[in-house]
Amino acid sequence: MKSIEEQIQELKAERGATILAHNYQGDEVQAIADFTGDSLELSRKAANLTEDVVVFCGVHFMAETAVILSPQKTILIPDPDSGCPMADMVNAAQLRELKAKHPGAKVVCYVNSSAEVKAESDICCTSSNAVKVCESLGEVEIIFVPDRNLGGFVAEKLGKEFILYNGFCPTHERIRDIDIIEMKKKHPEAVVMAHPECNKPVRDLADELLSTGQMCHFASESNQTEFIVVTEIGINYRLRTENPGKTFIPINPDRAVCPNMKKITVEKILWSLQDMKARVTVPSDIADRAVGCIQRMLEIQ
Ligand code: 13P
Ligand code: SF4
């Protein structure tokens, strides 16, 4: 009998499909993916697809972004319930209300948002380019949705006040400053790499604030050999496989887990290719209004 992995490889070739995975996916999913990356790397990949079918192993807004950028392709998500609670914290009506209160402001939306929120925004950003994106807008007032932590981090970096929406990532919110303090006592030489979705007390204890893709680059370029990794557990798979001589210490391995990212399994990837489900779609009127906001971000290098 063929293994699940063999069946996936066969079906992938038959369907002309590729498997994209976010850095927070489980180890087995990352092992079978053709490409694993952070939100920006996945968006760039989705904008330049050569295959007709993509099995998108990530949360729903990521697959939606791929649909908006490549509407002619078939984008499948192996578990349609794999959503992002932070993205669900703001909807288009709430954003319109905020815009009405600040008519002169530009809206920057974190890519962790729905297509309808992107359709109401001026420009999108990810955690790896948020500073550059906001900087590109010049002196204008900025409404930042939905992540108060990423927005707070950027505002601090630019020495500005943002109009911050009160959203957050429940997984990163579970990481506390005391966790870092305790871990630092055990590993005083380790470099603390934290994700900007962490709250301020945690961010203040970090040596480096990086997106998941930036963590991979930083760790491989660094002369240091020990790192405390302050983000979702899944990133440790890439960090370890790409840097065999270095040590990565995950913070709170039992709590820093995104249950939505972990809904996707190797079995569900196989079923997705067998049944060509679940196909992700975005109504064309929303996609047409959202595409500019994502493309403007991709134009910023
Ligand atoms: P990045 O991979 O861009 O760092 O994003 C983290 C995240 O929370 C995605 O949901
Ligand atoms: Fe959303 Fe946080 Fe999960 Fe990323 S880690 S998908 S921001 S809940």
Read out DSSP for the chain? ---HHHHHHHHHHHHTEEEEEETTS-HHHHHH-SEEE-HHHHHHHHHT--SSEEEEES-HHHHHHHHHH-TTSEEE-S-TT---TTGGG--HHHHHHHHHH-TT-EEEEESSS-HHHHHT-SEEE-TTTHHHHHHTTTTS-EEEESBHHHHHHHHHHHT---EE--B--HHHHT--HHHHHHHHHH-TT-EEEE-TTS-HHHHTT-SEE--HHHHHHHHHH-S--EEEEES-TTHHHHHHHH-TTSEEEESSTTTS--TTGGG--HHHHHHHHHHT-PBP---HHHHHHHHHHHHHHHH--
Asked whether 41 lines ligand 1 (CB < 6 A), one says: no
Asked whether 85 lines ligand 2 (CB < 6 A), one says: yes
Tell me the per-residue pLDDT of 191-203, one tens digit each, with 9 for 90 and over. Answer: 999 999 999 999 9
The residue extents of the domains of the chain are 4-83+261-281, 87-169+287-298, 175-250
Same CATH topology for 4-83+261-281 and 87-169+287-298: the answer is: yes
Ligand 2 centre distance from Cα of residue 85 (Å): 7
Tell me the per-residue pLDDT of 61-113, one tens digit each, with 9 for 90 and over. Answer: 999 999 999 999 999 999 999 999 999 999 999 999 999 999 999 999 999 99
Tell me the per-residue pLDDT of 241-294, one tens digit each, with 9 for 90 and over. Answer: 999 999 999 999 999 999 999 999 999 999 999 999 999 999 999 999 999 999
Ligand 1 centre distance from Cα of residue 255 (Å): 17
Asked whether 197 lines ligand 1 (CB < 6 A), one says: yes
Architecture of domain 4-83+261-281: 3-Layer(aba) Sandwich (3.40)
CATH of 87-169+287-298, one of 3.30.1490.100, 1.10.10.10, 3.40.50.10800, 3.40.50.300: 3.40.50.10800
pTM exceeding the 0.95 threshold for the entire prediction: yes
Asked whether 59 lines ligand 2 (CB < 6 A), one says: yes
Architecture of domain 175-250: 3-Layer(aba) Sandwich (3.40)
